[in-house]
Structure 1
Amino acid sequence: FPLHLQVYPASAFYDGRGAPFPWLQQLPDPMTTVVWDSWVEINPATAAGLGIGHGDLVEV
């Protein structure tokens, strides 16, 4: 595969213990300020080659 998935625990959910508390999803991620969602970080040149733009939905 040309890409590698690197995962790490989200600060709000960590290992899943926070999943039953939807109010935690309203807390912005400290690094990205993303709320109510998760995101993919990819090199801009790689993204362009795959036809992925900023804000696009992708399936992992």
Structure 2
Amino acid sequence: MSHAVSTTEKKKVQSVSNALNLKTCIKCGGNGYMKSSPNCYHTCLTCLGKGLISEQLESIN
């Protein structure tokens, strides 16, 4: 059986596959935050606190 795929469905599949290409953030080590002093933590601005970055973003930096 063949299954016809619309262009919008193809775009959704491509965007999902791009989202799955994630790597651990190099700056925070995947924590999403960085320790700046003994009692102070800041959100990692590279990954925006998620701990993961896309491969495309990593290649730009």
Say which structure is richer in strand.
2
Scaled by the length of structure 2, what TM-score is found? 0.29
Larger Rg computed on CA atoms: 2
Instruction: Provide TM-score, normalisation by structure 1.
Output: 0.29
Tell me: higher relative CO, structure 1 or 2? Use CA pairs within 8 A at least 6 residues apart.
Answer: 2
Q: Which has the higher helix share?
A: 2
